[in-house]
Structures are given as structure tokens and as C-alpha cells.
Amino acid sequence: MSLIHNPHDKFFKETFGDIGMARSFLKNYLPQEILALVDLETILPQKDSYIDQELQESFSDLLFQVKIHKNEGYLYFLFEHKSYPSQGIALQLLKYMVRIWESKLKESKTDKLPLIIPMVVYHGQEKWNSSLKLSGIIDNYEQLPNAVTQYIPEYEYILYDLSTYTDQEMVGNMLLLIILRTMRDIFIKDTEAFHNILHELLISFERVEDQEKGMQFFETLIRYILSTRQDLELKRIYEIAKEVSLERGEVMMTIAEKLIMEGMEKGLKKGREEGLEKGREETKLEVARNLLGLGIEMDKVAKATGLSEEEIRKLMN
């Protein structure tokens, strides 16, 4: 059930794009020598993305302005969506950093470049094997004399390979831990094992201090999981949520109905655009099956889909 065009991108930007979440992550995961120089109280999100359009299915980015050593600076997050690491990421990052510098030079009256600290967040199951330095992807760099290397650009990025973190190694407030564990475990292939992980995550939501914000992130997480994992059934996820708390179960039911209806609307829109009557009917039937699977009453299913009660009874049988 693919309901969001790019669920990884949406999830990353809705979670790490939150100032409180970003500040919590940076406070707990920036190297101490960098954290001592960064004033996290001055952090401001920037709107632009610098990723090539053809790579947006594989990467997301977020840029934050912040005071670094009392000067204007930027923290740049590059999030890799794929379950395996990309090669030559240092060159890709450098290209995005140059774009940031170019845009900031246009905005400012100075010809000085602001400091940018680049960070890569990776959550695939394969081990990260790309060099953290630009020099690492230059052929035979280590054999070159200083007379040559002094003319070659060099920099290093900070890597957060979430797949290597144990639960004990993850730190931060409860919401941050839930988000990081979700990102780490989303590619686990064993469906039943993921059900158990989801059960633990939902229990963790009960320990979030700000329950209003927790409920907002709960919906974000459920949408992400259902849109990413094609092997999960709505009914089973609903049962897991209800086991944790009746309130979570009811919210889960509401989210599921929203997702199903959004899926139907997209399917119907596509059918209208392509003029496919058969496709529209199949979309309605699929939505009806999903709603019935959640235990939604027949009259509500009929109202939501436009199907007759007779058609719905056939599906039930």
C-alpha cells in the first residue's frame, strides 16, 4: 500500500525539520568540540533544498542557519533514503555546499563565504563504505606529494550511520529515540519482528512528556510506516495500537481511514485523468476491502466509496 509518493522524504522533513527535534538531535549527537562552538538557541530552518531533481527519490536535505563561534554559519543535513550506501557521497555533498554558498552570496552584500558543517544521516542495513573525506575518492590521493595535494580541495563530513546504533547507544528525549529507532529499523525484512518493534515504539509514546506533540508525531510515524512497508496489514497495525492503549487504537483507526480515503482520491483522480472506468471501480473495491478489514460498518463504507450495500456484501462474503 503505497500512499505517499516519497515517505522517507516526508518523514525526515516532518521530524528533523521540527526545531525542537533538530535541536535535541544536535545537542546529543554533534561532536563535543563542535557543540561547544554552536549556539543551538539561534537555530533557524531554511526553506530551500539543494538536491538534484533526479536524486530526490534517494536523498532529502535540510539546512539550518545557526551561530558558530559567534559567526553566521549553517548546519546541512543530507539524509539517504536507500537501504544501501551511495558511492562518492563526498562529491555530491560538495556540490550542494557550493550551491548553498552561491545562494547566500546572492542574498548578502559580502563576498565572504559562511561556514557550513555537512552531516549525512544513513539508515540502510548495508555497512557504510564511502569515504568521509573528499580526498578518499580521489585516485591514489595518499600517494600524491604535498606539492600536488595543496592545490586539491579537501573537507570531511559527519556521518550518522543509524544502522550501527544499538538501543543503548541512542540518546535524547523519548520522541527523538522513537524517530531514530523507526528510521533504523524500517528496512527490517522480518514482518513479525517489525510488528514487535512497532509494539515497543508505541509503548514508548506513552512515556513522551509532551503528549500533544507526541500525538502529532504518532500520526507522522504511522503514516510513514504504512506508506513504506508493503508487507504490513492495516488491521494488524490497528490491533497492535489497541493493545498498547485504546486511545492509540482509536487514533490509529482514524489515521488508517484517512490514508485509505487519500489513496482512493488519488486512484480516482488518476482514473479520471486516464479515462479508465475499470480502474476507478477497482480503486473503490480496494478501499472498501481495507475499510471492512478495519471493522468499519457497512453503511459508512458505502458512504465513503459510493458502492452499493449489495456490492459491499459480496466483498464481505
Residue 64: burial class (beta carbons within 10 Å; 0-12, 13-18, 19+): buried
Cα Rg of the chain (Å, integer): 23
Alpha-carbon distances, residue 292 vs 232, 235, 255, 305 (angstroms): 16, 9, 15, 12
The reply to whether 12 and 159 lie within a common domain is: yes
Residue 270 sits in which domain range? 262-315
Supply the pTM of this predicted model: 0.81
Flag whether 204 is in a domain.
no
The reply to whether 29 and 156 lie within a common domain is: yes
The reply to whether 19 and 160 lie within a common domain is: yes
Nearest to 252 by CA among 263, 239, 262: 239
> For position 226, what pLDDT does the model report?
83
The pLDDT profile of the chain, 317 residues, written as one tens digit per residue, is 444 458 899 999 999 999 999 999 999 999 999 999 999 999 999 998 999 888 888 899 999 999 999 999 999 999 998 888 888 899 999 999 999 999 999 988 788 999 999 999 999 988 898 899 999 999 999 999 999 999 999 999 999 999 999 999 999 999 999 999 999 999 999 999 999 999 999 999 999 989 889 989 998 998 899 888 888 887 788 888 888 888 887 887 777 777 666 654 554 454 444 545 555 666 667 777 777 666 676 776 776 677 777 777 777 76
> For position 282, what pLDDT does the model report?
62
The reply to whether 36 and 156 lie within a common domain is: yes
> For position 299, what pLDDT does the model report?
73
> For position 272, what pLDDT does the model report?
45
Flag whether 299 is in a domain.
yes
Interatomic CA distance for residues 8 and 183, integer angstroms: 9
Which residue carries 462474503 as its cell?
317
The reply to whether 155 and 274 lie within a common domain is: no
The reply to whether 11 and 159 lie within a common domain is: yes
The reply to whether 160 and 279 lie within a common domain is: no
User: Which DSSP string do the residues of 263-289 spell out, in sequence order?
Assistant: HHHHHHHHHHHHT-HHHHHHHHHHHHH
The reply to whether 14 and 159 lie within a common domain is: yes
Flag whether 228 is in a domain.
no
Which residue carries 535540510 as its cell?
62
Flag whether 240 is in a domain.
no
Flag whether 208 is in a domain.
no
Flag whether 301 is in a domain.
yes
Flag whether 57 is in a domain.
yes
- Total structural domains within the chain: 2
The reply to whether 160 and 292 lie within a common domain is: no
Residue 77 identity: F
The reply to whether 159 and 38 lie within a common domain is: yes
Flag whether 266 is in a domain.
yes
The reply to whether 151 and 267 lie within a common domain is: no
